[in-house]
């Protein structure tokens, strides 16, 4: 009864959600649809000649061994980035949550890196770890490490993972800190009175209560590692040496934007989109069960 009293007209609710709906349709669904259409076409960069090629772009990709290598690499990178940035951020948040002198300053400083754009992160780390320009490389060399990410693929991969994780730490830190502060002190105090040591208190009380935050961040971090890291890769390694830092999203960027091969690039982004949808689905289906809200 009350519902009808509020919305006299049947159209009003639709009219009210229309702007939001329009934005979602124009800025999310329309480009996604465009990508799907584009992936069936073979087109030159200027869009002057267009041929409909059915699934040719997809078939070419599946025949390409480099593409499979990129898939495996992307999963490895995402896993490494998510795990390292999450664990580091949690460690920092736990420490910043303690009553410390000047903790506000400490917290603020930890949040800063998030404001840095990915390509800038790349440049920043290059200045530190470039084989000849880098400040840190000099120390590494002095320690006897043959530091040369320009030719050593593993070192380059480590560099990318490191830089990408570093940038994401602040974001994770922010959520972890908020999560930690919302844990009722009384529960922790009760555990302490019961004689639980700090480590035990953390794993049995804090960690489970933090699980919704961890789960949310896991999803966000995976999506970040999948989609947002190409700026870092482009400025730091451009996919090299060899193809050792070419991830799926970087391949989309380099094939489409640098190579002008829009069909293949679109097909790749459609595959990437499906992959992330599936991955997020799996996370919500299986990982979320372990989360207690």
Partner 1 sequence: MALRHFGTAAAVALAVGLGASPALAVTEIQWWHAMTGANNDVIVKLANDFNAAQSDYKVIPTYKGNYADTMNAGIAAFRAGNAPHIMQVFEVGTATMMAATGAVKPVYKLMADAGEKFDPKIYLPAITGYYSTSKGEMLSFPFNSSSTVMWVNLDELKKANVEIPKTWPETFEAAKKLKAAGHDTCGFSGSWVTWVNLEQLSAWHNVPLASKANGLDGFDTVLEFNGPLQVKHLENLVELQKTKVYDYAGRTNTGEGRFTSGECPIYLTSSAFFGNVKAQAKFNFTAVPMPYYPDAKGAPQNSIIGGASLWVMGGKPAEEYKGVAKFLTFLSDTDRQVYIHKASGYLPITKAAYEKAKAEGFYKDQPYLETPLLELTNKEPTENSRGLRLGNMVQLRDVWSEEIEQALAGKKTAKQALDAAVERGNTMLRQFEKTAVK
**Nearest distance in Å: CB 57, partner 1:** 10
**What residues does 42 pair with on adjacent strands?**
51
Cα 288 to Cα 211: distance, rounded to the nearest angstrom: 9
With a CB cutoff of 8 Å and minimum separation 6, the contacts of 290 are: 211
Name which of 139 and 207 has its Cβ closer to partner 1. Answer: 139
Name which of 111 and 158 has its Cβ closer to partner 1. Answer: 158
**Nearest distance in Å: CB 78, partner 1:** 22
Q: Residue 57 burial by CB count (10 A; 0-12/13-18/19+): exposed, middle or buried?
A: buried
Q: Which of 23, 258, 274, 278 binds partner 1 (CB under 8 A)?
A: 258
DSSP letter, residue 184: -
Is position 45 an interface residue for partner 1 (rule: CB under 8 A)?
yes
Judged by CB under 8 A, which stretch of 81-89, 90-98, 176-184, 236-244 contacts partner 1?
236-244
Q: x/- string (CB under 8 A) for partner 1, residues 104-143? A: ----------------------x---x-xx----------
DSSP letter, residue 205: I
Q: Strands 41-43 and 50-52, how do they pair?
A: antiparallel
Tokens of 137: 């490389």
Judged by CB under 8 A, which stretch of 86-94, 178-186, 203-211, 239-247 contacts partner 1?
239-247
Is position 251 an interface residue for partner 1 (rule: CB under 8 A)?
no
Cα 258 to Cα 238: distance, rounded to the nearest angstrom: 11
Is position 242 an interface residue for partner 1 (rule: CB under 8 A)?
yes
How far from 204 is each of 78, 84, 130, 180, 197, CA to CA, in Å?
28, 22, 43, 14, 11
Is position 245 an interface residue for partner 1 (rule: CB under 8 A)?
no
Among 212, 217, 210, smallest CA distance to 85 is for: 217
Cα 211 to Cα 203: distance, rounded to the nearest angstrom: 11
Name which of 26 and 91 has its Cβ closer to partner 1. Answer: 26
Residues 147-206, interacting with partner 1 (CB under 8 A): 150-153
Is position 30 an interface residue for partner 1 (rule: CB under 8 A)?
yes
Judged by CB under 8 A, which stretch of 80-88, 94-102, 258-266, 285-293 contacts partner 1?
258-266
Q: Which of 2, 10, 47, 289 binds partner 1 (CB under 8 A)?
A: 47
Length of the chain: 293
Cα 149 to Cα 145: distance, rounded to the nearest angstrom: 11
Q: How many positions of this chain bind partner 1 (CB under 8 A)? A: 32
Q: Which of 172, 229, 254, 269 binds partner 1 (CB under 8 A)?
A: 254
Half-sphere exposure of 243 (CA within 13 A, CB side): 16
Among 111, 112, 119, smallest CA distance to 163 is for: 119
Q: Which of 5, 48, 115, 143 binds partner 1 (CB under 8 A)?
A: 48
Tokens of 225: 């590692």
Site residues, partner 1 (CB under 8 A): 26, 30, 42-49, 51, 126, 130, 132-133, 150-153, 238-243, 254-255, 257-261
């Amino acid at each position: 009864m009350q519902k009808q009293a509020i919305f006299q007209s049947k159209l009003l609710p639709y009219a009210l959600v229309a702007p939001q709906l329009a934005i979602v349709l124009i800025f999310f669904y329309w480009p996604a649809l465009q990508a799907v259409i584009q992936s069936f076409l073979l087109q030159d960069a200027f869009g002057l000649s267009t041929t409909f090629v059915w699934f040719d772009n997809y078939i070419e990709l599946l025949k390409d061994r480099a593409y499979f290598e990129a898939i495996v690499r992307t999963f490895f990178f995402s896993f490494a980035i998510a795990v390292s940035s999450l664990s580091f951020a949690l460690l920092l948040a736990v420490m910043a949550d303690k009553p410390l002198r000047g903790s506000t300053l400490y917290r603020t400083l930890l949040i800063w890196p998030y404001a840095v754009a990915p390509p800038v992160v790349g440049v920043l780390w290059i200045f530190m770890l470039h084989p000849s320009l880098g400040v840190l490389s000099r120390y590494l060399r002095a320690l006897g490490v043959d530091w040369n990410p320009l030719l050593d693929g593993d070192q380059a991969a480590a560099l990318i993972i490191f830089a990408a994780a570093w940038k994401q730490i602040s974001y994770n830190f922010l959520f972890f800190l908020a999560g930690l502060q919302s844990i009722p002190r009384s529960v922790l105090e009760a555990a302490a009175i019961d004689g639980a040591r700090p480590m035990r208190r953390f794993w049995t009380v804090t960690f489970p209560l933090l699980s919704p935050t961890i789960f949310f961040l896991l999803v966000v971090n995976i999506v970040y590692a999948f989609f947002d890291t190409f700026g870092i890769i482009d400025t730091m390694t451009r996919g090299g040496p060899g193809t050792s830092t070419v991830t799926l999203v970087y391949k989309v960027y380099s094939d489409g934007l640098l190579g002008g091969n829009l069909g293949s690039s679109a097909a790749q982004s459609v595959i990437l989109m499906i992959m992330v949808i599936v991955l997020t689905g799996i996370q919500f289906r299986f990982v979320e069960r372990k989360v207690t809200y």
